[in-house]
Amino acid sequence: MEGVSFDKRGVLVCSGKPGFCNGDGPDDPINIQSTAAPGEPKRVAVASPDGKIAGFAEAIPFSIEASDKNCKPSVVRASPLAERVVARATGFSSLETLTVTTKSNDEGRTPRIRRDAMAIGLAC
Examine the domain organization and report whether 68 and 113 are in the same domain: yes
Whose CA is closest to 31, among 7, 13, 52, 45? 13
The answer to the question of residue 59 being in a domain is no
Please give the pLDDT value at position 117.
Answer: 46
The answer to the question of residue 20 being in a domain is yes
The answer to the question of residue 98 being in a domain is yes
**Cα 107–73–102 angle (5° rounding)?**
5
Q: Domain of 17?
A: 1-31
Domain count, the chain: 2
The answer to the question of residue 77 being in a domain is yes
pLDDT band of 111, cuts 50, 70, 90: low
Chain mean position to CA 8:
23
pLDDT band of 70, cuts 50, 70, 90: confident
- pLDDT for 8-58, tens place per residue? 888 888 877 777 777 777 788 888 888 999 999 999 888 888 888 888 889
* Mean of pLDDT values over 79-95: 83
The answer to the question of residue 36 being in a domain is no
The answer to the question of residue 110 being in a domain is yes
- Percentage with pLDDT > 90 across the chain: 19
Count of all residues that appear for the chain in the document: 124
Q: How many CA atoms lie within 13 A of 109 on its CB side?
A: 4
The answer to the question of residue 109 being in a domain is yes
72 within 8 A of 66, measured Cβ to Cβ: yes
- Give the CA-trace dihedral at 16, 21, 44, 60, to 10 degrees: 70
